[in-house]
Amino acid sequence: MMRSRSEDLFETAEKLLPGGVNSPVRAFRSVGGIPRFIDRASGSRIFDVDGREYIDYVGSWGPMILGHAHPQVQEAIRKAVERGTSYGAPTVQEIALAKTIIDAFPSIEKIRMVSSGTEAAMSAIRLARGYTGREKILKFEGCYHGHADSLLVKAGSGIATLGIPGSPGVPACLAELTITLPYNSTEAFRAALDRHGKELACVIVEPVAGNMGVVEPAPGFLETLRELTRQHGIVLIFDEVITGFRLAFGGFQNLCGIEPDLTCLGKIIGGGLPVGAFGGSQAIMDCLAPAGPVYQAGTLSGNPLAMAAGLATLEILGSRRDDYAALNHRTEELCNAIQRLFGAADIPLRINRAGSLFTLFFSDHDVVNYETASSSNADRYAVFFRGMLERGIYLAPSAFEAAFVSFAHSDEDLEKTLQACAETIETMKG
Ligand code: PLP
């Protein structure tokens, strides 16, 4: 059989890049097969180097809510390129993007731009430690906040896919400062704060988890985090790198009405270019250098191309803020239809959905935290993933990730997805 170009390229890539990739989950290790090398993308579609077309539910892991290569975003980037690519000095665009975000998030008075979600979370915890003068931090199992040392403890995403608790290279003395608790367990949280409340600088949480697959907060969970962190003088950080501008214009905090002290953002606010940001009250943010003593910096922070792409994206989303309901509803209908297909085939499946994010868990029990997520059948997901890929549907190459529906997905795309799903299920029966 003729080898594909992706196979040839992956063979070369493996000689040049560890595992053949620049980010672990891309390598298809948990689902089997060879990653597709992508040549270009447009709207809801990505095209590989072998000329195959896929309906894309990865969306660059979240940023592409408008679909790929949106003409207005492309134009904004083109115009920015003509003025030079980086100056290392202030620009008008970074103020414009900051103002757009601040206007959309009642809890944010000041914001700092960085170049990734990892940097945003890493810097936010340093700021919380500097602000409180405390060292310990608390996170939840299965939540992923990027790969900074302190946060790579019982993290989700690629760490969950590879089935490892943390990572070699993270000093034990640093990991010891990170307390981890089961997501959605209010009792465990209360008990931990009784013990460690006065030592904790911050509590960081994905307000809707996306990195153990989608898991919504149980009623009262986020409320308890807010109440008890306030009581103990702990900085509450919402990591809205995925959920920011995804579930509504603004963050999940706008929907649930709970205001954290700091918020981490990324993905959508960069419109597909490398961006992250963290923001919060003036009192905390002004502890950052040069206003205050907590150091944080970046050669490419506030990069003009990234600001232009982010601004264009948020302008479009702002003008379409009423359309989120329809996007979320279409995603719900897709999920319901998928659930029916699996039900008819008697294959146990739980779909968790929040807005236009969803995860298929091959499980016969509800998925409410990392333990219940990781006991779902990842081998069955791998079979499903390969069946869908063969039929032109590009899902996340891991059982513990979200699928992302964009404004560019048409009814026809969703129909084709269901058709592929029905055919794949036929191959999975028996
Ligand atoms: N926080 C969350 C919730 C994320 O989902 C991610 C990445 O997926 C990050 C932080 C890290 O962002 P980045 O990959 O841009 O460093």
Strand-pair partners of 138 = 179, 203
What does the pLDDT read at residue 161?
58
User: What's the burial of 175, exposed, middle or buried (CB within 10 Å: 0-12/13-18/19+)?
Assistant: middle
In this prediction, residue 162 has a pLDDT band, given cuts at 50, 70 and 90, of: low
- Phi, psi torsion values for 304, nearest 5 degrees: -60, -35
CA 288 to chain centre: 25
Q: Which residue has the higher pLDDT, 353 or 159?
A: 353
Amino acid in the structure at residue 10: F
- Other C-beta atoms within 10 Å of 347: how many? 16
Q: What does the pLDDT look like over 81-134, one tens digit per residue?
A: 999 999 999 999 999 999 999 999 999 999 999 999 999 999 999 999 999 999
pLDDT at position 397 over 80: yes
What span, in angstroms and rounded, lies between the C-alpha atoms of 59 and 45? 9
**Percent of residues, the chain, with pLDDT higher than 70:** 97
User: Residue ranges per domain, the chain?
Assistant: 5-69+321-428, 71-319
CA of 131 to the centre of ligand 1 (A): 23
Choosing from 21, 115, 161, 267 the residue with most ligand 1 atoms within 8 A of its CB, the one to mutate for a pocket test is 267
Do residues 265 and 259 make contact, with C-beta atoms less than 8 angstroms apart?
Answer: no
pLDDT at residue 173 in the model: 86
Please identify, by atom number, the ligand 1 atom nearest to the C-alpha of residue 267. Answer: 15
Cα(252) to centroid(ligand 1), Å: 16
The protein residue whose alpha carbon is closest to atom 10 in ligand 1 is 145
Superfamily of domain 5-69+321-428: Aspartate Aminotransferase, domain 1 (3.90.1150.10)
**How confident is the model at residue 55, as a pLDDT?**
98
**pLDDT-based confidence at 172, cuts 50/70/90?**
confident
Q: What is the pTM of this model?
A: 0.97
- Residue 422 one-letter amino acid: A
Higher per-residue confidence, 2 vs 193: 193
Which residue's CA is the closest to the ligand 1 atom numbered 14? 117
Task: Look at residue 160 and tell me whether its pLDDT is greater than 70.
Answer: no
ipTM for the complex shown: 0.99
- pLDDT at residue 234, rounded to an integer: 98
E strand or H helix at 310, and its extent? helix 304-319
Pocket test for ligand 1, best of 206, 211, 252, 404 (most atoms within 8 A of CB): 211
Three-state DSSP class for residue 170: coil
What are the tokens at 12? Answer: 């070369």
> Which one, of 380, 334, 376, 385, lies nearest residue 355 by Cα?
334
Cα-based torsion angle of the residue sequence 57, 153, 195, 260 in order, rounded to the nearest 10 degrees? -40
Q: What is the mean pLDDT of residues 217-237?
A: 98
| pLDDT for position 429 | 83
**Residue 80 pLDDT grade (very low, low, confident, very high; cuts 50, 70, 90):** very high
CATH number given to 71-319: 3.40.640.10
Ligand 1 centre distance from Cα of residue 354 (Å): 17
Task: Kindly report, residue by residue over 378-389, the tens digit of the pLDDT.
Answer: 999 999 999 999
Contact (CB, 8 A) for 369 and 183 = yes
pLDDT of residue 170: 86
Cis check for the bond before 348: say yes or no (omega within 30 of 0). no
Q: Which among 149, 242, 401, 404 is the best mutation to test ligand 1's pocket, defined by most ligand atoms within 8 Å of the CB?
A: 242
165 has pLDDT over 80: no
- Whole-number Å distance, alpha carbon 239 to ligand 1 midpoint, is 9
**Count of C-beta atoms within a 10 Å radius of residue 206:** 27
Given the CA of residue 143, which atom of ligand 1 is nearest to it? 3
* pLDDT tens readout for residues 194-210: 999 999 999 999 999 99
Name the residue at shortest CA distance from atom 5 of ligand 1.
Answer: 242
Per-residue model confidence (pLDDT) at position 158: 66
Q: How far is the CA of 51 from the centre of ligand 1 (A)?
A: 30
Predicted confidence (pLDDT) per residue in 37-49, tens digit: 999 999 999 999 9
Q: Identify the CA nearest to 384 among candidates 338, 346, 424, 415.
A: 424
Per-residue pLDDT, 157: 65
Active site residues: 144, 239, 267
CA of 121 to the centre of ligand 1 (A): 8
Between residues 184 and 166, which one has the greater pLDDT? 184
Read off the pLDDT band of 286 (50, 70, 90): very high
Locate 236 and state its tokens. Answer: 């509450």
Please name the residue whose Cα sits nearest to atom 13 of ligand 1: 117
In angstroms, rounded to a whole number, what is the distance separating the alpha carbons of residues 64 and 37? 18
Q: Which residues line ligand 1 (CB under 6 A)?
A: 61, 116-118, 121, 144-146, 157, 206, 210-211, 239, 241-242, 266, 276
